[in-house]
Amino acid sequence: MPFDAEKLLNRKFNTIRRTYTEKDCMLYALGVGMGIDPLDEECLRFVYEDDLKVLPSQSVMMAHPGFWAKEEDTGLDWVKVLHAGQEIIMHQALPTSGTVEATTRVSEIIDKGERIGALIVTDRVVRDVETGEDLCTLVTTILARGDGGFGGKRMATPKIDVVPNTEPDDVCDLPTLPQQALLYRLSGDFNPLHASPSVARDAGFKAPILHGLCTLGVLTHALMKTCCDYQSLRFKRMRLRFTAPVYPGETIRTEIWRNGNEVAFRCKSLEPDRIVISNGYLLVE
């Protein structure tokens, strides 16, 4: 089925309702690298049920619509789809267990031309079914590299946050494991690009790459450690752009610039030296 931007803008997504447990929270935290040092008691609180805490970035997996770009009715060349940007707005700290629901909608499609592709923006508000309260709002941007040039409006890319051209105030290096993507996918993102060597090669990569949202989870660990004293309530809003893939086993360096309760950041992979997340913004309380 050919790609039809107007049809995708009007696509009706099912409302997703999911129940999650403390075990799911611990599995997510392990999937983004918490617990690599089992003697680090701050990190242990995210992977051990005694006084369990939940990483704010776990919100991206709650009532997740799955890899919907692969569904036939979207018309997308799913092998060429990449995660381009993410925004997380936290309305309250995430419970360690519960039932949540959300409905995804496509809010914008930007034609960047046949050479670049189409930027597709979706959003969803995750609610606690028991209380009826909103937990978080998630805005996701994907780049459909095989579906640009469809004749849509060639709008400018939305304004992005700027990282200062100075030495960072803080630096946090965190390793990833060679099996990190295989572990992370158990939290619900089963895109084969992150597990199958043949699919990865077909998409132009030398090997399966780390999920963009797993890289985001490693980044969240760095920000929680450096800017929030591991207190989830202090983590209010984050937005960023993904600029390059991370291969499992690489070390992610987060560079941080502080300006009161606002933080600018970017991430580099140290093997080789390349920026993998840019134009980062965090609001702390």
Encoding tokens for residue 210? Answer: 């780390």
Active site residue 189: yes
Q: Which of 64, 147, 189, 221 is catalytic?
A: 189
The CA distances from residue 105 to 11, 109, 164, in Å, are 7, 12, 34
Instruction: Give the residues across from 123 on adjacent strands.
Output: 105, 139
Cα–Cα nearest to 88, from 120, 106, 62: 62
Q: Which of 194, 211, 221, 273 is catalytic?
A: 194
Active site residue 64: no
**Catalytic residue positions?**
189, 194
